[in-house]
Chain A
Amino acid sequence: MSALSERLQAMASRLGERATREMYEDPFWQARFGSRGREMAEKDSQFHLAYLVQALAAEDPSVFESYARWLQTLLVSRGMCSRHIAESFERLARAIEDDVNDAGPALDVLRAGQRALVYPTGPARELQACAEPLAERALEALASRQPSWFSMASTRPSMAAFESVAQAEQARFKRDVLDQIAYLADAMHAGRSELFANHVVWMQSFGVGRQGPVTRMQETLLALDECLGPPAPAAVPEPAALSAATSPEERGAERTSAAGAVRGSEAPAARASLRPARQRPSLSPPPPSPVPLPVSAELGALSRQFIELALQRLVQPGAVTTDASGVATAEASGAARTGGPGAAGGEPP
């Protein structure tokens, strides 16, 4: 075993504890995954290190890459997204970089693990590849749809504190959108729309809990949809675009669905409660709508389908107020929860 892997093994407990503690300094993690999630995250960090150590001992990053892909399926199925897993690898890398001398090879292996989380083919990969520009455009679309949400910095330029708060808020917004894109990609790859919808419903309650706009999730989803590929003719500026990808039968059902109310096609009373009217500052024009990001027809259709289903979940009675943290808290995170990757017949895939 190499000297580095031995040093890492000796320091594993401290490194894992630090990486998890720093991750949970962000209140998102505690809110999303709870105390049990934190407990599992600590155990997971030890598994990450165990596989990192073995990859270094074998001088073979593919050992850790195989583990990362295996873990991805495990944790995505239990309410995490690939971006969260990548973040846990990144935090471990930072802890190692700070505390371990000459740790370059370990950092390389962890980065290889992050790259292994990119799906090999298909719309999920395409979505992962365009996540950053898509998030930027979705935020622009959101600013166009809801200018007041982003107006603090521009209307109070002389107030540095406000500006910095607004910038922080914008950064948090962007992180949330990147998470949503990651959840969407993971759900597409797994072929399980509920994985995306569960996160959306939880984020809605989380956002309300931290005094965010009630319709933030709906508007974000509609903004994302606007930015994914050329919109259908009836789609802009009204979010009825989502129905373009649905079958006639689905469209028929949609007219009576709560999601239809979100899109403004029916039920004015419900629309009034779920979708606030756009508020535009009187002295400045709204930002222009962004140009949609060109994507494949497959990704466009699939994303619309998944977004549509998530919107439907959002407006189901109780969905917004449901304490959805339980969705993830009980099961999220942790090869350790069952004895690790060798459980189930003792054969990792």
Chain B
Amino acid sequence: MTERALDPTQSIGRSDLCAAYLRAQLGGNRREALRVIVEDGLERGLSCRDLHEVIQRAQREIGRLWQEDRITIAQEHMATAISQVVLSHVYQYAAAAPSNGKRVTVACVEGELHDFPARLVADAVDLAGFDVRFLGANVPSQHLLRMLIEEAPHLLVLSVTMTFNLPALRELVALVRTQTPAVPIAVGGGACVWNERLGDELHPDIIGRDAAELVDRANRLLGVRQ
């Protein structure tokens, strides 16, 4: 499937798309959620970046609804599980940029169980033309380090959502700098939002607030021509 020019007569705004997607998520309707993203989004010309943004926005809204006790944790889990399925379809069907030859490893730090943000970043980076190794949640630091030594990626992306997992991030960053100093480090995730001084403390090569920002900065850092 290739991305087509947006037909203004058929276009649907990202806000509308997000609202429709959210409704499908809250209704537990996986097929409708897929239809919204694939048919109303992808097939009408929205880019994977647009669709990732829609999914991210919907996930944030789901989080807010749970925080405000308007949905249960079961509904929140259901909605997130739907987004996992939908991400797979976007990954499969969205047009990927040509390979740029740069290898990127994406992982959640040890102890971090929230892998959705990392997965979305991995897909976004992959579709932007990078060669991605996505390691998922709770990656033991020593094993990650061994992989870095063996594969020597052009960039390591570390995701940390919970603030109390920051010690694992600090420790891992120190280890990477000692043992694979040539590998640049990007950090992101919710904990980076709550810890505004993290950039000044760790001096990562990239600190990104969302997938699109991280892709842009990775392109610049690694000299990828877009």
Contact = CB atoms under 8 A, between A and B. Distances in A.
Interface of A: 1, 50-51, 53-54, 57-60, 62-63, 66-67, 70, 73-74, 77-78, 190, 331, 337-349
A331 B69 contact: yes
Contact of B67 (A54, A59, A62, A73): A73
A344 B60 CA distance: 8
A340 B190 CA distance: 13
Contact of B80 (A1, A60, A345): A345
Contacts of B41: none
Interface stretch (B7-15, B31-39, B160-168, B173-181): B160-168
Contact of B73 (A62, A66, A343): A343
Contact of A344 (B76, B167, B196, B197): B76
A58 B165 CA distance: 13
The 7 closest A-B pairs by CB, nearest first: A346-B114, A344-B63, A345-B59, A77-B69, A342-B161, A338-B73, A50-B164
B190 to A, nearest CB: 4
Contacts of A346: 114-117, 161, 189-190
B66 A344 contact: yes
A342 B190 contact: yes
B190 A343 contact: no
Contacts of B70: 77
Contact of B66 (A58, A62, A63, A343): A343
A190 B63 contact: no
B198 interface: yes
Interface residues of B, number: 37
A51 B163 contact: yes
B97 interface: no
A50 B164 CA distance: 6
Most buried by A among B79, B115, B117, B195: B195
Nearest to B194: A66
A95 B140 CA distance: 35
B69 A1 contact: no
A345 B83 contact: yes
Contacts of B167: 1, 54, 57
B150 interface: no
A341 B194 CA distance: 11
Given A60-B197, A74-B69, A348-B194, 9 more contacts: A62-B194, A73-B68, A338-B76, A340-B162, A342-B162, A345-B116, A346-B115, A346-B116, A349-B67
Interface in B34-89: 59-60, 62-70, 73, 76, 79-80, 83
A347 B164 contact: no
B182 interface: no
B193 interface: yes
B60 A54 contact: no
Given A63-B163, A342-B162, A345-B62, A58 B68 contact: no
